[in-house]
Amino acid sequence: MKKKSVPDSYECPACGYRSAKWMGFCPSCQEAPEGLVPVVSASSRLESLLSEGDGTPRALRMEDVGKVAVERTSSGFREFDRVLGGGFVRGSFILLGGDPGVGKSTLALQAVAHMADGHKVLYAAGEESPEQVRMRYDRLGRKGGDLFILPETDLEAIVREVKRLSPEFLVVDSIQTVTMGADGPSSGSVGLLRESASVLLELAKRASVTVLIVGHVTKEGVIAGPRVLEHLVDTVLYLEGDRSHPVRLLRTVKNRFGPTRELGIFEMSPDGLREVENASSFFLEGRKERLSGSVVVSSLEGTRPLLVELQSLVSPTTFPNPRRVAQGVPVSRLSILAAVLERRAGLSLSSRDIYVNVAGGVSLEETASDLGLVLSLAGSLKDISLSPDVVVFGEVGLGGEVRRVQEMESRLTEARRHGFSHAVLPASGKKYPDVSGLSLHPVREVGEALELLKKLG
Ligand code: TYD
Ligand code: MG
């Protein structure tokens, strides 16, 4: 028999004031016109729950839980598929964000054009006319396929078309152009963005349609932008790139169906994006053989180590406050490491400007590039160039200590594969992975690493 929980006290719903007796108003805030409401204390609630009949356990033994069969479709790009965790999952909801003009529509069209060979695709184009999309489609060298273009921005019209056509795949380009009629949220509002995305999400789940929404994100426009949708969707991808550079990086920010922080690398071309399969050699291309301040670091991007060149230029300042300018590494990290070098290794950087650049527009967020940055700064300051066959990785602490990083072996293997013969890495105490042909130079603190600068110069 279920024991009835009796209220232990009474509470004001407005301010939380508690009383042992019921009262028709709140003496504390006077804001409760209906009076105080009964509350049951946690202990008496638990007591009554525990006194209920036992019944059979409802939890499932892990082994008995059925596996979900995820059906995936390839985008036609190995780089794109990896970022998705192995292709598009049927019925999933994906947000492809990025700056205007970065190439989102091109990438989306290239992927669906591939999938249209065997799967029915509906492309709701709100930003371009069907003729413009057709022109791009032709430029991509595509023909035929089960690809349908809908020049519509009205959400109802899009949903109705999905019902009529029953596609497996729907692209909405872009979510910012979608409207919801006179009684919907006002155009351009965050409410509209959220409402329309919720309807499309429901559609994805119910009709088992894979939905890709394209969203413009400006770096400043965080608030009104599609970032408000991140928690709603299954997968968030961002396409990044610099207008002056043909490299386009596709990053996973969130993925319910695969690893996050995965990175896909593409190169722009007149006939669309091309994937860059050998990313490390792509980023190392055009490197000057010897240049002080240039260091190759190994950065783990998702599941893959990437070799990239980091450059520093340290020069006497003409400003009252020396400048710290960094492209590709966080300026805060640069300031910390410059201070560490100053205090722990006696390098005088406080009266000098520092400029840091990472080749190819890559942004290094991993602390594993600390040690490389430290050597790059010291190299530029002392005008010592490191031999081009040296790769460097390791995290640097405030005490100047060099800390271990994850995936040492795959970083070393990647370096060997690209013809590197020396690696400066954290001293680990454990056995190092055996990578033949690569001389390892383990270091415990930055001072030891700076010694190596001369030896490996
Ligand atoms: P677009 O895909 O329209 O960018 P977004 O949808 O993010 O605003 O691409 C912008 C322009 O760049 C467009 O005119 C096509 C061109 N472009 C290429 O010529 N080659 C490429 O590889 C890409 C990605 C774009
Ligand atoms: Mg576009």
pLDDT reading at 2 higher than 50: no
Distances (CA, A) of 177 to 40, 97, 192, 210: 50, 14, 10, 20
100 Cβ closer than 6 Å to some ligand 1 atom: yes
pLDDT reading at 224 higher than 70: no
Residues of the binding site for ATP: 98-105
SS3 328: coil
- Tell me which residue of 203, 191, 189 sits closest to 124, measured CA to CA: 203
Cα 250 to middle of ligand 1, angstroms: 14
51-64, pLDDT tens digit by residue?
887 778 889 888 88
Which pLDDT does position 447 carry in this prediction? 95
Q: What is the amino acid identity at position 49?
A: L
Which pLDDT does position 223 carry in this prediction? 43
Which pLDDT does position 1 carry in this prediction? 44
Which pLDDT does position 220 carry in this prediction? 54
Cα 173 to middle of ligand 2, angstroms: 7
CATH class of 282-455: alpha beta
Note whether 229 and 197 are within 8 A (CB). Answer: yes
pLDDT reading at 3 higher than 60: no
Mean pLDDT of the chain, nearest integer? 89
Residue identified by tokens 């078309």 is 161
- Tell me which residue of 100, 107, 73 sits closest to 89, measured CA to CA: 73
303-335, pLDDT tens digit by residue?
788 899 999 999 999 988 999 999 999 999 999
Q: Pick the more confident residue, 6 or 3.
A: 6
Confidence of residue 218 (pLDDT cuts 50, 70, 90): low
CB atoms within 10 A of CB 376: 31
Burial of 271 (0-12, 13-18, 19+ CB in 10 A): middle
- Tell me which residue of 175, 174, 163, 269 sits closest to 209, measured CA to CA: 163
227 Cβ closer than 6 Å to some ligand 1 atom: no
Q: At what angle do helices 370-382 and 331-345 cross, to 10 degrees?
A: 60
Of 231-245, 341-355, 398-412, the range with the lowest mean pLDDT is 231-245
pLDDT reading at 455 higher than 60: yes
55 Cβ closer than 6 Å to some ligand 1 atom: no
Note whether 161 and 120 are within 8 A (CB). Answer: no
Tokens of 298: 């190994």
pLDDT reading at 221 higher than 80: no
179-216, pLDDT tens digit by residue?
998 888 887 788 888 999 999 999 999 999 999 999 98
Which pLDDT does position 323 carry in this prediction? 95
Confidence of residue 5 (pLDDT cuts 50, 70, 90): low
Note whether 344 and 400 are within 8 A (CB). Answer: yes
Q: Pick the more confident residue, 83 or 430.
A: 83
218 Cβ closer than 6 Å to some ligand 1 atom: no
Which pLDDT does position 280 carry in this prediction? 85
Cα 240 to middle of ligand 2, angstroms: 14
pTM over 0.90: no
Burial of 403 (0-12, 13-18, 19+ CB in 10 A): middle
Q: Are strands 93-98 and 37-39 parallel, antiparallel or unpaired?
A: unpaired
305 Cβ closer than 6 Å to some ligand 1 atom: no
The length of the chain is 457
pLDDT reading at 229 higher than 70: yes
357-367, pLDDT tens digit by residue?
998 778 888 99
Tokens of 232: 């709603």
Cα 107 to middle of ligand 1, angstroms: 8
- Give me the phi and psi of 310, to 5 degrees please: -115, 135
Asked whether the ipTM of the predicted complex exceeds the cut of 0.95, the reply is yes
Nearest-atom index, ligand 1, CA of 102: 7
103 Cβ closer than 6 Å to some ligand 1 atom: yes
**Region 229-249 average pLDDT:** 89
Helix residue ranges per DSSP H, 60-174: 78-84, 104-115, 130-139, 155-165
247 Cβ closer than 6 Å to some ligand 1 atom: no
121-178, pLDDT tens digit by residue?
999 999 999 999 999 999 988 777 899 999 999 999 999 999 999 999 999 998 999 9
Chain centroid to CA 401: 29
- % of the chain residues with pLDDT over 70: 97
Confidence of residue 104 (pLDDT cuts 50, 70, 90): very high
Fold of 72-277: Rossmann fold (3.40.50)
Q: Which ligand is nearest to the CA of 136?
A: 1
Distances (CA, A) of 134 to 6, 34, 127, 275, 313: 70, 64, 13, 22, 47
Cα 96 to middle of ligand 2, angstroms: 11
Tokens of 207: 């009709």
Q: What is the amino acid identity at position 44?
A: S
Confidence of residue 234 (pLDDT cuts 50, 70, 90): very high
Note whether 211 and 200 are within 8 A (CB). Answer: yes
106 Cβ closer than 6 Å to some ligand 1 atom: yes
Nearest-atom index, ligand 1, CA of 106: 2
- Tell me which residue of 367, 453, 435 sits closest to 406, measured CA to CA: 367
Q: Which ligand is nearest to the CA of 125?
A: 2
Which pLDDT does position 183 carry in this prediction? 83
Note whether 348 and 378 are within 8 A (CB). Answer: no
Q: Which phi-psi region, left, alpha or beta, contains residue 322 (left: φ > 0; alpha: ψ -120 to 50)? A: beta
Query: In the 8-state DSSP scheme, what is residue 246?
Result: -
- % of the chain residues with pLDDT over 90: 59
Using CA positions, which residue lies closest to atom 2 of ligand 1?
Answer: 103
